[in-house]
Amino acid sequence: MTKEIAEVIGLLDDIASIKSEIVDRTPFDSYDDTLSIKAIDERLIGLYELIKANPEITKEYVEKAVEPVNDSLDELHFKIDQLLPKDKKERNIQPLRDPVDSDLLPLFLANAGSEAIYQRDLKSSQLVIAYTILYHTGLRINEIRTLTREDINDAIEISQFNLIHHKTKKAHINILSDKAIKDLRNIETHLKIVFDKYQYQYLFGKNKPMNKKSLIRMINNDLKSTCELAKLPFNIKSHSFRINLITNLLKVTSVHKVAEIIGHKDIRSTMKYQRYALSKDEIKDLLSKIEDNK
């Protein structure tokens, strides 16, 4: 803790002590209200001057103070989700999601965390790491939220992630390509920000993994923000990275092999992604050939 932050904490403690003393006294106690209030005013003036002279340090202190509040809110969201009735609702048909391909990935990496109000460097680094891993592995959100620095280092070293898949509840090996290893090595600065500077135990969690729904909400909001900023007419969600990988695999190998690579228990799950196998340009070309033959 820096000297300046210690001074801020000391002044706040002094003020709290004096206020507590005033509140605890009864009307029969003999003390000078004016002197007590004057002492508080002097402390407040001192605190104001300290904040004014050290805005960056004060900002850092406030961010650290707010962090537990945000963690508590995530926990509250989780508890509320557990308490809400689990009545089965009629499922609405959602529009098809677009894949995050090699052309779109740099855009989402460059704008990751740009809407963060505080600790922007942390949020940006978390998202850059997440997007890089999601793009190259096709993992689900619930499978990356528990990743530690050791998990990522091991993956780089042995060219694979060894994880328990969320849906199948089985261990699965996700092989990393040479390009994936290179990209993971290139985000070392972001890894240091999350795990060294902020001392996070998990990629998304100081002491425990972030709630799944809160994490999906956070990632979807960031992707939506980038789409709006770049005026992209696409429906990009957290699952779009997985869609891209499976789509590309289906173009070069069989459904059975793709299911094995991606970790699908049933190939019917893999076959659902066939709808993405043809790109928009490829479909346009086929339609054009039909028109030419008329």
The H or E element that residue 164 is part of is strand 160-164
Q: Is the pLDDT of residue 239 over 70?
A: yes
Sorting pLDDT into bands at 50, 70 and 90, what band is 285? confident
* Greater pLDDT, 28 or 240: 240
Q: How far apart are CA 255 and CA 2, in angstroms?
A: 58
pLDDT at 232: 93
Tell me which of 35 and 32 has the higher pLDDT: 35
Who contacts 116 (Cβ-Cβ below 8 Å, separation ≥6)?
Answer: 122, 123, 124
Q: 222: number of CA atoms within 13 Å, CB side?
A: 26
65-69, 103-107, 285-289: range with highest mean pLDDT = 103-107
Using the structure block, give the residue that is written with the tokens 């923000």.
225
Q: Which of 85-89, 93-97, 244-248 has the highest mean pLDDT?
A: 244-248
Q: What is the mean pLDDT of residues 82-106?
A: 78
Band (pLDDT 50/70/90 cuts) for residue 118 is confident
Please give the full DSSP string across 182-246, using - where no structure is assigned.
Answer: HHHHTTHHHHHIIIIIS--SBTTBSSSPPPHHHHHHHHHHHHHHHHHHTT------TTHHHHHHH
Mean pLDDT of 31-46: 64
What is the band of 88 on the pLDDT scale with cuts at 50, 70, 90? low
The owner of tokens 């002197």 is 35
CB 74 within 8 A of CB 66: no
Residue 97 has pLDDT above 50, yes or no: yes
Give the integer Cα–Cα distance in Å for 113 and 58.
Answer: 22
Kindly tell me if the per-residue pLDDT of 163 is higher than 70.
yes
What is the number of other CB atoms lying within 10 angstroms of the CB of residue 57?
17
pLDDT for 91: 63
Task: Write out pLDDT tens, residues 167-209.
Answer: 777 888 999 999 999 999 999 999 999 999 999 999 999 999 9
Per residue in 128-152, is it b (16+ CB within 10 Å) or e — as a string? bbbbbbbbbbbbbbbbbbbbebebb
Contact of 202 with 145, CB cutoff 8 Å: yes
pLDDT surpasses 60 at 114 = yes
Residue with tokens 């949020």: 123
Partners of 160 in the β-ladder: 175
Is pLDDT at 98 greater than 70 in this prediction? yes
pLDDT for residue 29 is more than 60:
no
From 251, 124, 243, select the one nearest 189 (Cα to Cα): 124
Instruction: Considering only residues 290 and 246, tell me which one the structure prediction assigns the higher pLDDT.
Output: 246
pTM of the model: 0.68
Structure tokens at 205: 């969690």
